[in-house]
Amino acid sequence: MSYTVSQLLTQDITFQPIEINGWVRGFRSNRFIALNDGSTINNIQCVVDFENTDEAILKRITTGAAVHVKGELVESQGKGQKVEIKVTSIDILGDSDPEEYPIQPKKHTFEFLRENAHLRTRTNTFSAVMRLRSSLSFAVHKYFNDNGFYYMHTPIITGSDAEGAGEMFRVSSLDAKNPPLDDDGNVDFKKDFFGKETNLTVSGQLEAETFAMSLGKVYTFGPTFRAENSNTSRHLSEFWMIEPEVAFMDLAGNMDLAEDFMKSVLSYILEHNREDLEFLDKRLLDEEKTKPQAQRSEMSLIEKIKFVVDNNFKRVSYTEAIDILKNSKPNKKKKFNYIIEEWGADLQSEHERFLVEKHFKCPVILFDYPANIKAFYMRLNEDGKTVRAMDILFPGIGEMVGGSQREERLDVLKEKMKALDISEEELWWYLDLRKYGTAVHSGFGLGFERLVMFATGMGNIRDVIPYPRTPQNAEF
């Protein structure tokens, strides 16, 4: 019978004839194959009887080769593994020329592996990262499903440019060189595929609100896009976002939901992905050793995840945060690039990091921001100057979650849209939600890749998504 490496290493099936397929990770002493099939970070050792194996076959057992092995699972005589396969026959399914194969059993830089992203999941680090990404995705769906939320696919192509979260990519099937023009000499998007100008979505929130106002609790988990020229280790042009939206829930409930959600999905991987996490924990430790002591993290990867799961997030109003920042050492000594002078200032990532990493040393939920630095749809507080917004800041990552209670009052929302020159005509359906059976409701957005970065300890967002899209790069 055919098994996976994971099954062989964890189930009690010794001394039965077994078959297995996999790729050679290493071959030493003309005898010991380290075989991997992706089912676990661990390899299984296959012991070849080299005296009775064709020399020509032995030569083809090279790193990266695909093989089919028959044998018996036996207790291992050697160190480092409990069981191993005593090989009775081996077939080479696909060769891998050691002179040419890019993924040699040595340390490759992440830059090199990004250029070979089609092969990088053949390394321990990237296979662990992608398994964790998959587990986290499942944990997301499981959390919401268990808690009565409905998954909703919001549209990717949008005719709206009022989503307001950033620069958009245009989607078109017009002739790129000679687009049809209207009487005014402008591109005639009426002749485009959808009969109007369309873009890639930057957020599914507005549509999610429509479903929340009928189905109660919904969430999206889909790709979103930013046509911004940010070449940083924390930005992608295409990334996946999770956006729950809940009717009859206020900002306090929103904070509770976000915190419970984060803890739940991180608990899930602690329980289900122990081996991958242990590998990445060690990897991060090795990486940190190359840094000066002062820059090293006080906690290991697994400790950081456990810390989030086990401790309450600190809830701090924007106003309190400004007080803390104004009186902070780096502000007084003008070490911040942006000095905090007064209430109303937008927080930069240097300020967020100070609050999270130096001051509170735990995840922080900031709430009740000044209205004029936040989006039009956020619920205005009774003070008339702050909105019921919240951001969740994580150590080492910065902003992980951004959310708010939504403005449910038709007149207040219209006034705000007018002030910001957002077309009522375009968002007629969004306004309808406030006309017919409006109610308090709230939600948040979480950039999935930021979560994967936190959970894997990877420092560059390009290394936690299969094929990153960034300015000047859409390879594969």
Stretch 272-311 residues interacting with a copy of itself (CB under 8 A): none
Contacting a copy of itself (CB under 8 A), which of 58, 187, 285, 345? 187
Cα–Cα distance measured from residue 103 to residue 62, given in angstroms and rounded to the nearest whole number: 11
CB of 319 to a copy of itself, least distance (A): 29
Q: Which residues contact 284 (CB under 8 A, 6 or more apart)?
A: 297, 300, 301, 457
Residue 170 engages a copy of itself in binding (rule: CB under 8 A): yes
Residue 207 engages a copy of itself in binding (rule: CB under 8 A): yes
Which residue number, 342 or 425, has a Cβ lying nearer to a copy of itself? 425
CB atoms within 10 A of CB 438: 18
Q: Which range binds a copy of itself by CB under 8 A, 203-211, 292-300, 304-312, 380-388?
A: 203-211
Residue 35 engages a copy of itself in binding (rule: CB under 8 A): no
Q: Are 338 and 383 within 8 A, CB to CB?
A: no
Which residue number, 391 or 408, has a Cβ lying nearer to a copy of itself? 408
Contacting a copy of itself (CB under 8 A), which of 9, 90, 113, 247? 247
Cα–Cα distance measured from residue 454 to residue 469, given in angstroms and rounded to the nearest whole number: 20
Which residue number, 416 or 434, has a Cβ lying nearer to a copy of itself? 434
CB of 223 to a copy of itself, least distance (A): 5
The pair of three-digit structure tokens given for residue 407, joined into one six-digit string: 């403005």
Which residue number, 268 or 444, has a Cβ lying nearer to a copy of itself? 268
Task: For 415, list phi and psi in degrees, rounded to 5.
Answer: -60, -45
Q: Are 323 and 340 within 8 A, CB to CB?
A: no
- State the Rg of the chain over Cα: 27
Contacting a copy of itself (CB under 8 A), which of 59, 196, 274, 332? 196
Site for a copy of itself in 395-414 (CB under 8 A): 408
Q: Is the dihedral of CA 233, 238, 240, 245 positive or negative?
A: positive
Cα–Cα distance measured from residue 220 to residue 207, given in angstroms and rounded to the nearest whole number: 10
Contacting a copy of itself (CB under 8 A), which of 82, 106, 177, 329? 177
Contacting a copy of itself (CB under 8 A), which of 43, 45, 125, 198? 198
Residue 429 engages a copy of itself in binding (rule: CB under 8 A): yes
Three-state secondary-structure class, residue 201: coil
Q: Are 409 and 438 within 8 A, CB to CB?
A: yes
Q: Which range binds a copy of itself by CB under 8 A, 277-285, 302-310, 317-325, 463-471?
A: 463-471
Residue 137 engages a copy of itself in binding (rule: CB under 8 A): yes
CB of 107 to a copy of itself, least distance (A): 18
Query: 341: buried, middle or exposed (CB in 10 Å: 19+, 13-18, 0-12)?
Result: exposed
Residue 41 engages a copy of itself in binding (rule: CB under 8 A): no
Q: Which residues contact 165 (CB under 8 A, 6 or more apart)?
A: 202, 203, 224, 226, 375
CB of 328 to a copy of itself, least distance (A): 38
Residue 165 engages a copy of itself in binding (rule: CB under 8 A): no
CB of 176 to a copy of itself, least distance (A): 5
CB of 475 to a copy of itself, least distance (A): 6
Q: Which residue has the tokens 């990877």?
A: 458
Cα–Cα distance measured from residue 407 to residue 414, given in angstroms and rounded to the nearest whole number: 10
Residue 362 C-alpha from the chain's centroid: 20
Q: Which range binds a copy of itself by CB under 8 A, 168-176, 300-308, 329-337, 393-401?
A: 168-176
CB of 307 to a copy of itself, least distance (A): 27
Residue 269 C-alpha from the chain's centroid: 14
Residues that bind a copy of itself (rule: CB under 8 A) add up to a total of 104
Cα–Cα distance measured from residue 279 to residue 123, given in angstroms and rounded to the nearest whole number: 12
Site for a copy of itself in 345-364 (CB under 8 A): none
The pair of three-digit structure tokens given for residue 348, joined into one six-digit string: 């930069």
Q: Are 200 and 157 within 8 A, CB to CB?
A: yes
Contacting a copy of itself (CB under 8 A), which of 43, 121, 254, 273? 121
Which residue number, 102 or 370, has a Cβ lying nearer to a copy of itself? 102
Strands 364-370, 386-394: pairing is antiparallel
Task: For 81, list phi and psi in degrees, rounded to 5.
Answer: -150, 150
CB of 209 to a copy of itself, least distance (A): 9
Contacting a copy of itself (CB under 8 A), which of 151, 260, 332, 373? 151
Site for a copy of itself in 61-120 (CB under 8 A): 64-66, 68, 93-97, 100-103, 117-119
CB atoms within 10 A of CB 120: 22
